[in-house]
A and B are shown apart, each in its own frame.
Chain A
Amino acid sequence: MIDNWPILSIVTFMPLAGVLFLLMIRGDEITVAQNSRYVALWVSSFTFLVSLPLLIAFDSAAVGYQFQEKGNWLAGTGIGYHMGVDGISMPFVMLSTFLMPLSILASWKAITHRVREYMIAFLVLETMMVGMFVSLDMLMFYLFFEAVLIPMFLIIGVWGGPRRVYAAFKFFLYTLFGSVLMLICMLAMYIDAGTTNIPGITTHQFADSMQTWLFLGFLASFAVKVPMWPVHTWLPDAHVEAPTAGSMILAGVLLKMGGYGFLRFSLPMFPLASEFFAPLIFTLSIIAVIYTSLVALAQSDMKKMIAYSSVAHMGFVTIGIFTMTEQGIAGAMFQMISHGLVSAALFFSVGVVYDRLHTREISAYGGVATVMPRYAVFFMFMMLASVGLPGTSGFVGEMLVLVGAWHASSWVAFFTATGLVLGATYMLWLYRRVMFGAIISDEVKAMEPMHVREYSIFLPLSALVLLFGVYPMAVLDVMSVSIQFVLDGLSASGLSILAAK
């Protein structure tokens, strides 16, 4: 029965319906603000509930796309309204709908001006994110992929920190520049294949020389999104200036759009070019892992440090994807889901203390563990998950990526592993400086304990990080068939890298 419902369209566009509710709120400023918060929370929670049947009814043994919806949009031109999910996109849809109510809760007290507009931006953002993951038409994918920029630009620019204008512009222009090159490639693909239907193009064989250019065009877009070294510089700025919830969504979901893009487009559609450029990706990713870890060590701003750690963690993801092994890709996917949860929690952790002390300077803290012991526990748990402690979700992803990297080249595995050590260094050092030691300022001494609202954000995140850590099959089962499908496609195109195994 549930198959007959256009469930993906409902999940995608429900937040937009919530925007209409937000627009209808009347009253004075305080009433509007408070009601907007509740409406946004209810709408996003309800969207999450509506998306749950996806998880329950998803058949993880089935090959191909599920819950497909087709509509007549531009009849006769090969462009159509087409939605569907497989094991690669479904986890991201769930991640998006799951993080959104938490982000709205996280901005409950932190955002005090223009609350209605803020909530509208977030709900529009949710529609765009979900729509991007469920689109099975290249033009639709691009529409959502680019449209994400509009709400995020406003979130950073209107509700951000002191250098928000610079950060918002940098974020927008970097991403746009990458995307327009991808757009040209999409046009060329549309002309060559005669359709923008993603399953249709996946079976289309592009000429070798064309694959090279197409791969580079898509790389320009996804590398900025992921972000890969050396086009990562927008990310620290965007994170530092964005409000807490903006950072949570940015790190939690938006960065994954790049990794998802590699798995949905680059690998299946340009297998030959992917193999050819894999060493380039490995090099850039290894530089990212090591270099950004070192840069993270030198940061004095907590958010900036976590932002750089995101670049390093996403370096693992790109390495995993381009190993083109089952473990590597599964590890990359797992790492993206895990990082989505962990980085959102870490940015929220910074937000918790920032709301109290209004600074993100590490040196302003010290001894927080004595004042806020429960907070210290949550922070430690997430910090360890980020480092990759066994028993947390972070471990599984990094482990699998390393196994995959070993198949590709022992050197890649070696350098990747270096990143693990460095990651542990800066995170533990951050923790020591913020949480332990003597309380140096009276402001720290006066910090309030955690609120119920803050618990209600930490608890679900921690629960999932723990669950995926001890029972990784919960995630791996869902995606294994789809990953195998991608790999089958790669070996069908006769790649030497796979033939060797």
Chain B
Amino acid sequence: MFHLIDVLPALPELLLAALALALVLVAAFGGEGGRNTRRVTRISLGGILLALALIWFGAANDETAFGGMHRADSFADYMKILVLLGTFGALFMSITPLAKDDINKPEFPLLVLLALVGMMLMISANDLMSLYMAIELQSLPLYVVAAMRTKSLRSSEAGLKYFLLGALSSGLLLYGASLIYGFAGTTSFAGIAAAVSSDQLPSAFIVGMVFMISGIAFKVSAAPFHMWTPDVYEGSPSPVTALFAIAPKVAAMALMMRLTYSAFGSIVDQWSQVLIALSIASMVVGALGAIMQSDIKRMMAYSSIAHMGYALAGLAAGSQQGALGVVVYMTGYIFMGAGSFAIILLMRRDGQAATKIGDLQGLSRTHPMLALGMMVMMFSMAGIPPLAGFFGKWYVFLAAVNAGLVPLAVIGVVMSVVGAFYYLRIIRLMYFEDANEPLDADIPVAHKIVLGVSIAVVLLFFAGLSQILQSANIAASALMAQL
């Protein structure tokens, strides 16, 4: 029996899904060429804004849909807003194709929209079934967009690699889920939480849990499940990389939080160790791996691995403070990512994408504003106060220290010094070196807006911190309330 009340909490997702399906027709019959692409992109952007408005102004009740498989609470709302903003930024910047060999097909916005629905469902997943379905819905379109530049070998390689390793992680996830289902006798998070409250945990359950966390760690691109990240970042067309760097990370991190805090909330000490290991590995791999890179997209890949390591350090604390730290961290992260990718997208010479780090040389002479923006982003990523990145680190390490994970925090901050080295390298190239051949000069409005907003948020993060903390606290306590 169909009840409207059972689907209404998922209204934003339903809306976007319906829009995506309708846009298939527009994409198919709207004619060839750039005009149709722009049309589809514009409609998608409108849909995202609508979903954003629905969530922003909607009541933040704790509701479930689809028989309890989908949960719409304050935590989901907060993370969905981040994902929607990130996707909006990435899609918005793809509206004017910059480099000659850029993707310029109506399929791109369409697939992004579908992936977005997947990401939002991931954030709201409240059951192993919906978890798996959402992850697949998010992943499949992303495999395709990674390989979208069909004439480029690198792009096809990126898509294939992403797909193969993604399939492996799905396998891990499914296997883990089946073990957990076998133990708990239910797929709902609440049911699992009730089942594991007992003292005796069979080792098969622990194995299942570790498998599931590993599967999600792949999506978060935490080391040692990070192998695909640098290649996919480098090989994919830049607008796709921009999307990868921002939105799916937030969704996967939210899913990780949801799974650990609600399904496994009563056995924190069991999964905390796994997350500590993931966190340390990611921070080390991210910091050391980035040093040797000469391609800026590869460097950003390692940088994102390191960032996920910091966020996981907060999650490893297993407390509400930890959840708060991760939420604050991800808030800063999407703006740093959007800002730096706005500039990376603009890196091109004679219409060809120029993504070597050396291409930034002397940028402060040729494009002072871009250089300034990049500098702000790099200092923020390095965690230098008073920029956004610092406050994220402050709150995740606060949670880690409070949970007694001082060694983890010390490794974290030491790795952030190592990380500072490669961020400074970019600033050095832009400011300390003489100008190279200048990059192309025209900057589309979309990039200006995304960059401007990102710079403003990163610079003035401290001013709005009180409000962010308030909302993040509500989100974190909503997550905790499910125990």
Contacts and interface: CB of A to CB of B under 8 A. Distances in A.
A220 to B, nearest CB: 11
Nearest to B420: A176
Contacts of B414: 177, 180
Interface in A17-65: none
Contacts of B432: 157-158, 164-165, 168
Nearest to A190: B398
B409 interface: yes
Interface string A161-176: 0001100110011001
Contacts of A139: 394
Contacts of B465: 73-74
Contacts of A172: 420, 424
A447 interface: no
B469 A184 contact: no
A184 B466 contact: no
Interface in B402-426: 402, 406, 409-410, 413-414, 416-417, 420-421, 424
Interface in B137-166: none
A476 B113 CA distance: 69
A463 interface: no
Nearest to B365: A114
B431 A184 contact: no
B417 A191 contact: no
Contact of B384 (A149, A157, A169): A149
A188 interface: yes
Contact of A187 (B390, B401, B417): B401
A169 B416 CA distance: 15
B462 interface: yes
Nearest to A114: B364
B417 A184 contact: no
A173 B462 contact: no
B424 A169 contact: yes
Contacts of B379: 150
A343 to B, nearest CB: 26
A13 interface: no
A75 B420 contact: no
Contacts of A177: 414, 417
A465 interface: no
A168 B428 CA distance: 9
A391 to B, nearest CB: 43
Nearest to B409: A184
B386 A184 contact: no
B466 A187 contact: no
A74 B470 CA distance: 9
B385 interface: yes
Interface residues of B, number: 28
B384 A147 contact: yes
B428 A184 contact: no
Contacts of B421: 169, 173
B333 interface: no
B388 to A, nearest CB: 12
Contacts of A142: 385
A147 B386 contact: yes
A147 B385 contact: yes
Nearest to A72: B466
Contact of A169 (B398, B406, B410, B428): B428
A143 interface: yes
A73 B420 contact: no
A146 B413 CA distance: 14
A122 interface: no
Contact of A73 (B402, B406, B466): B466
A177 B382 CA distance: 12
A229 interface: no
Contacts of A184: 397, 401, 406, 409-410, 413
A interface majority secondary structure: helix
Contacts of B420: 172-173, 176
Nearest to B431: A158
Given A73-B466, A142-B385, A143-B386, A183 B428 contact: no
A77 B469 contact: yes
The residue among B406, B431, B432, B462 with the most chain A CB atoms within 10 A of its own CB is B432
A153 interface: yes
Contacts of A143: 385-386, 390, 462
A111 to B, nearest CB: 15
A187 B424 contact: no
Interface in A68-110: 72-75, 77
A95 B456 CA distance: 32
A74 B394 CA distance: 14
B464 to A, nearest CB: 11
B309 to A, nearest CB: 15
A154 interface: yes
B75 to A, nearest CB: 20
Nearest to A131: B386
B370 to A, nearest CB: 15
Contacts of B462: 143
Contact of A191 (B385, B386, B402, B410): B402
B397 A176 contact: no
Contacts of A150: 379, 384
Contacts of B386: 143, 147
Contacts of B401: 184, 187-188, 191
B480 to A, nearest CB: 17
B410 A181 contact: yes
Contacts of B413: 180-181, 183-184
Given A158-B432, A172-B420, A177-B417, A187 B385 contact: no
A153 B398 CA distance: 28
Nearest to A154: B431
Contacts of B417: 173, 176-177, 180
A167 to B, nearest CB: 11
Interface in A125-164: 139, 142-143, 146-147, 149-150, 153-154, 157-158, 164
Interface string B24-39: 0000000000000000
Contacts of B410: 181, 184
B335 to A, nearest CB: 18
A173 B409 CA distance: 18
A180 B401 CA distance: 13
A73 B466 CA distance: 7
A169 B462 CA distance: 26
Contacts of A176: 384, 417, 420
A149 B414 CA distance: 17
A139 B465 CA distance: 13
Interface string B386-399: 10001000100110
Contacts of A154: 427, 431
Nearest to B413: A180
B398 A74 contact: no
A81 to B, nearest CB: 10
Contacts of A74: 465-466, 469
Contacts of A183: 394, 397, 413
Interface string B425-445: 001100110000000000000
Interface in A177-198: 177, 180-181, 183-184, 187-188, 190-191
A166 to B, nearest CB: 10
A139 B417 CA distance: 19
A146 B432 CA distance: 21
Contacts of A191: 398, 401-402
A338 B236 CA distance: 59
19 contacts: A74-B466, A143-B386, A143-B462, A146-B384, A147-B385, A153-B424, A157-B428, A157-B432, A164-B432, A168-B428, A168-B432, A169-B424, A172-B424, A173-B420, A180-B413, A180-B414, A183-B397, A184-B410, A187-B402
The 3 A-B residue pairs with the shortest CB-CB distance, nearest first, are A180-B413, A143-B385, A187-B401
Given A154-B427, A157-B428, A188-B406, 19 more contacts: A142-B385, A143-B385, A143-B462, A147-B386, A149-B384, A153-B424, A153-B427, A157-B427, A157-B432, A158-B432, A165-B428, A172-B420, A173-B421, A177-B417, A180-B414, A181-B410, A187-B394, A190-B398, A191-B398
